[in-house]
Amino acid sequence: MSALLLALLACAPHTPAVAAPAAVAPAAPAGTLTLVESWPVETTLDHPAIPDAAETWVALFDAATTSVDLGEFYVATEPGSRLETVLAALTRAADRGVKVRLTVDAKFAKTYPEPIGGLDAHANIEVRKLDLDPITGGVLHAKYFVVDGARAYVGSQNFDWRSLSHVQELGFIVDAPRMVDVYERIFGIDWAIAGGATVADALAAAPPSDPLTAGVDVRLGAGTVNVIPVASPTGLLGDERLWDLPYLLDAIAGAKTRIRLQALSYERVGYDKVTWTGLDDALRAAAARGVKVEMIVADWSKSGDKLKSVQALMGVPGITVKFATIPEASTGFVSFARVVHSKYVTVDGAWSWIGTSNLSRDYFYASRNVGLVGRGAPLADALDGVFDTLWTSAYVEVVDPARTDYVAPRKK
């Protein structure tokens, strides 16, 4: 286990610095924030300074003492894969008495009935399936978990063996108690609804929490960043101040020099078939006032409205969009993999958003997603470093707004 993970899991109390005479000591950071990544094997996209997701998940589950609560889109594994070691760690936790609760999306549970069936058979593991379609028209798209009510992991990685070995992903661990409380409350709302409660009853039963609109200061490496927990969709938050979309649009509206975005996809017409130009309009307005806009999306976007959306945006002066293509592994084709899947935004090198949403209306208005907003250069610099690695790599190509022969790669 890396020294960074050992230090993280030690969770030593944070002691304020001793004040100098006639001075007030600054408040100590409320906790720590650590970026965590996955990268496709046989690529150059690994960042050695950023901990690996599979190792991090195993360490977190092996350190659990009382509870692990997971909100996941789905669970899919493969014999001999890295997720097998993660599931083994989760089972070890349950074996020693840790209470494990797992909420998955009801639709995808039909596609991937195992291994959730095997997990649910364990005496200390309970699985519930959340169907948001009749409530919001969306899905449980979040990927996060809370350990012992003290640490939370949020990231773009699905609980999928491919996400740990064949997909470019990014997430974070946060151990600030007030931040973790908000994620735990979101989990509690979904857990109750998946158990049959009405939305009103689930919201009423969820323990109250501070939405932290002023944020909390946490350590990130040698620096400090102010972070705010955010989530979607509206109507399932308990406090609408948690909604992430207004933060994102406000930051873009206030941008002065540069905006960077990466996601699996960007589109004006999403799965809900509703045309939405809120983000598109904001990016165009930023470019019109001289802000440099850079975006990376996966090559899965080389068809349909995804292609139309990025081609139209690429035609705007000041905006550059690139497709990212990950070559097939030497072991052969892997379905629904070899793709970039991280979801984050930076503005002016000082503001950041990182979460589980792709960039279209339905992810913010209909589906359950979680993330955080960060204010301060340390997080923006770290995310910009990840962005630069891909932006300058051989895996990207600039979108041609006039090209008509793009072909999306095989997915399955």
| pLDDT > 60? residue 304 | yes
2 with 55: CB under 8 angstroms? yes
**d(C-alpha 222, C-alpha 274), whole Å:** 44
Percent of the chain with pLDDT over 70: 94
Q: Name the residue with tokens 């408040």.
A: 27
| pLDDT > 60? residue 367 | yes
151 with 174: CB under 8 angstroms? yes
320 with 398: CB under 8 angstroms? yes
Give the tens place of pLDDT for each residue, 243-261.
999 999 999 999 999 999 9
- The identity of residue 36, as a single letter, is V
pLDDT at 161: 98
pLDDT at 16: 35
- Let me know if residue 171 belongs to a domain: yes
pLDDT at 23: 52
- Let me know if residue 284 belongs to a domain: yes
| Residue 235: how many other CB atoms lie within 10 Å | 14
**d(C-alpha 176, C-alpha 164), whole Å:** 25
Q: What is the CATH number of the domain that holds 329?
A: 3.30.870.10
Helices (H), 64-173: 82-95, 106-111, 116-120, 161-165
| pLDDT > 70? residue 5 | no
pLDDT-based confidence at residue 12 (cuts at 50, 70, 90): very low
pLDDT at 14: 38
- CB-based burial, 193-204: b 16+ in 10 Å, e otherwise: bbeeeeeeebbe
- Let me know if residue 20 belongs to a domain: no
Give the tens place of pLDDT for each residue, 186-197.
999 999 999 999
Task: Report, as an integer, the average pLDDT of 43-53.
Answer: 98
More confident of the two residues 405 and 15: 405
| Residue 381: how many other CB atoms lie within 10 Å | 17
Give the tens place of pLDDT for each residue, 86-131.
999 999 999 999 999 999 999 999 999 999 999 999 999 999 999 9
pLDDT-based confidence at residue 27 (cuts at 50, 70, 90): confident
pLDDT at 26: 63
Structural domain containing residue 84: 31-398
Give residues with Cβ within 8 angstroms of 296, minimum separation 6.
261, 262, 321, 322, 323, 324, 340, 387, 390, 391, 396
| pLDDT > 90? residue 337 | yes
Partners of 218 in the β-ladder: 225
Task: Report, as an integer, the average pLDDT of 261-277.
Answer: 94
| pLDDT > 50? residue 358 | yes
- Average pLDDT of the chain, as a whole number: 94
347 with 258: CB under 8 angstroms? yes
| pLDDT > 50? residue 20 | no
**d(C-alpha 331, C-alpha 210), whole Å:** 48
pLDDT-based confidence at residue 326 (cuts at 50, 70, 90): very high
Task: Report, as an integer, the average pLDDT of 160-178.
Answer: 97
3-state secondary structure of 159: strand
pLDDT at 210: 82
- Let me know if residue 236 belongs to a domain: yes
Number of structural domains in the chain: 1
Measured on CA atoms in the order 99, 232, 160, 191, is the torsion positive or negative? positive
| pLDDT > 70? residue 25 | no
pLDDT at 155: 98
pLDDT at 165: 98
Name which of 302, 323, 308, 312 is nearest 390 in CA terms.
323
**d(C-alpha 396, C-alpha 400), whole Å:** 12
pLDDT-based confidence at residue 272 (cuts at 50, 70, 90): confident
- Helix 278-288, helix 304-314: angle, nearest 10: 20
Give residues with Cβ within 8 angstroms of 363, minimum separation 6.
138, 141, 232, 270, 357, 369
